[in-house]
Chain A
Amino acid sequence: MIKLLEKLPPTECPKFLHRVVDGVCGRDPPRLGDYGNTWSLTEWMELLDGLSSFFRFTVGRKCSEEEVQVSLVDLSGGHLEAVLACLKARGEELRQALVERTNAVSSAQLQDFDWQIKLALSSDKISSLQMALLSLSLDVKQGGVLKPLSLELDRHELQTLITSLEAANKVVLQLK
């Protein structure tokens, strides 16, 4: 599959490879539109999958340079060099991304959160309410799908949430 890489001239190889690594690390992968003249769609998918899994495998297994060379023995010199250079330059970043993936094996994971504080002046029943409300939006990743959650908490609910989170943090600290 990685043999398909030889369709690209070796000078443009590093750029493409770095974009693929970006994709593995969670940013934008390269687009077919930019390389549409070089590969067909099926080739593109195969190549992208192959390269991604190759990077993950080599970094995950901590392969030495010789092992990588052996696994890429059918690739021509310039391309092989480009792959090796890319692997050497981005190894640490890839490792971080893999650690992050491993860390996300649990069923649901908090990805991002944002909050806003609001003051409710009155309701349909009470003319003067003056109650502070916190609207908390959580982005939870569950099975690879990002799910937005929107909560509105008053003072006591927020207090219970914070105490439970603090208890969780205490457990983590004890584990260390």
Chain B
Amino acid sequence: MEEVDRILIHSLRQTGTEIGEDVESVKQFSSELIVEAVVRCLRVIDPPLGNGLPPSLPPGMSARFRLGMSLAQACQDLGYKGEIGYQTFLYSSKSALLQQAIAAQIKAQLALPWVPPACRLPLLCQTQSAGVSDAFRSLALSLPPTQGLGKPPVKEVADYCRDFLPPVTAQPSQHASVPASLLERHALELSAAQEWENEWNSQGLLTRLSPEVPPDLTPLNKPIWTHGTPRSRKGWARLRKRIEEQLRSASQARPSAQHAPRTGPDPDLTQLLQAFGGATPGGDVLAKGTRFTHTEKFTFTQEPEPSGQQMAVASVMPSSRQSEEALLAQQQDELQALQQQLQQLALRTEGVCGDIKQLTVSITQVSDEVKRRELGNSEKEDSVRVKKQTIDLLPDAENNLAKLQTLVESSAKRVVSLASQWEKHRAPLIEEHRRLKELCSNRELQSSRKLSEIKDLHDKIRQSADEAKKKEGLHKQLVTEFENLPKDVSRSAYTQRILEIVGNIRKQKEEITKILSDTKELQKEINSLTGKLDRTFAVTDELVFKDAKRDESVRKSYKYLAALHENCTQLIQTIEDTGTIMREIRDLEEQIETENGKKTVSNLEKILEDYKAIRQENSALAAKIREA
């Protein structure tokens, strides 16, 4: 029984009932604990029903009674066949409670059907594993490209990254796929880098990879493709060759197999083949191909050159050997003469350089002078022109004065109108200026706000990192604790125990059937004996009665016979009666035992107390009503 109790307490703890560490068997349960456990079980089995019930006992006695009634009703609704009422919960006995709790637990497990993980609701996740609440869906993310060392960023790309690129967390439409996408991206970059490193390590310089920086690791969207991308030029060439071979074999195989005029796909295939063929020698269609062929050309064309030079040197060799000394002397003379010439020329150039410097200085002086003179000239010309005009105007002085005045007035008017126009233009411009200024300040405000937000976020990140560390520590501690815990509560032990119990029960049943058959035999014997007795008595009675009329002594013996028969039947009757009374006594004793086991006395005391409490409540309520 203790093991059963332990299993029960364990599963009750799982449903959320707070059972103290010192409670080890169901016997020790208090009424409060029982009610809480039953309500939790009900919540697991049937949430709408269970959620309507409070998990703790209310203080008022009548409220307690009502809770007990509703609990009993709920249990009967769920299919509990045994006898159950409010008393089961409030005045508990062990066996009834045990049955109740076991039935509730088994019902809870069986009421839920198994469903595939994709269809699980949060309700089902309480007892079945949670499954995948969010599917692992990844999307391609757009990230700003990592800058190479010397390369300046392209302006458009930089603009896009600054103005339009949303943060990574906002890119996928569903929030749940953010971590999935990030993980995917990371795995992609990692595999690309690994691939590159592998190739570099295994083939080294042969692959003609740039050794210093990994090729811009802009990974393609899926790892499968990245995996299959040959990074090196050699790899490309190899791949192309392979594809070409495949295509060629396919195009050859087809006509030979069909012996028919060419159908649909073949012309396309040959075209493709031609494109491939054109790419490799000519090097015009694909950029990669040209680079490859360039290097090829380079390596092949370099070789002839040195060989030509060698040939030339070889043809000169014999003739020079004949007049070697004369040639040497001649060459030295020539060398000396040339050196002298060189020195002379150097001297002359130095002289000329000095001259040039002097001349340039004087030229600048002279040009300054010329500019100054020209300026003076133009000033003088202006003054002369003004004077000449005034002299021309002198003869008709009055007319000209009037004209001048009108001219002055008109120009003043023009100035005024221009000023007004300027004002007109100026006002909107100033407005615009102000508006832009405001906008600017708004932006600044926004940016400062965002900065503070970012700082907050940083703080939060740090905090959560700390928390995560703490929780990890806790997790480790808990794991060690868990490992230290005894693991004797094993399923196989229980099943073995159950099997043993079942075997015992079977043995007992056999014994019972044996005893039953014995009793049946006994009964049969008794029946046959009584029949025999009856018949014998009837025969004797008849015989003796016949003779009784004739003989006095026989009559006496007849009387004795009758008395004997009567006494014997009485005796048998008494024996049977004792047997039944003994049985009744045993039954009653059993009943007394069971009643004693039900804590009847204490429960009765409790009931009395509760009854008093209810009466008090009732009287208090009545008093209240009277007052009101």
Contact = CB atoms under 8 A, between A and B. Distances in A.
A135 B117 contact: yes
Contact of B140 (A92, A96, A113): A96
Contacts of A88: 154, 156-157
B44 to A, nearest CB: 20
B163 A139 contact: no
Interface string B159-175: 11001110000011100
Contact of B116 (A93, A103, A150, A176): A150
A127 B180 CA distance: 38
B204 interface: no
Q: How large is the interface on A (under 10, 10 to 19, 20 to 34, 35 or more residues)?
A: 35 or more
A153 B157 CA distance: 47
A139 B225 CA distance: 17
Given A112-B180, A139-B137, A176 B228 contact: yes
B173 to A, nearest CB: 5
Given A96-B220, A127-B491, A27 B132 contact: no
A142 interface: no
Contacts of A25: 140, 142
Nearest to B287: A62
Contacts of B165: 18
B129 A118 contact: yes
A15 B165 CA distance: 9
B227 interface: yes
B218 interface: yes
A154 interface: no
B148 to A, nearest CB: 14
A143 interface: no
A14 to B, nearest CB: 6
Given A97-B140, A116-B132, A139-B137, A92 B145 contact: yes
A147 to B, nearest CB: 12
B180 A14 contact: no
A172 B227 contact: yes
A99 B165 CA distance: 22
A143 B553 CA distance: 123
B437 to A, nearest CB: 20
Interface stretch (B235-243, B255-263, B528-536, B541-549): B235-243
A43 interface: no
Contacts of A28: 173
B118 A89 contact: no
A85 B156 contact: yes
A148 interface: yes
B164 A18 contact: yes
Interface string A80-122: 0000011011101100110110010000001011101010011
B222 A100 contact: yes
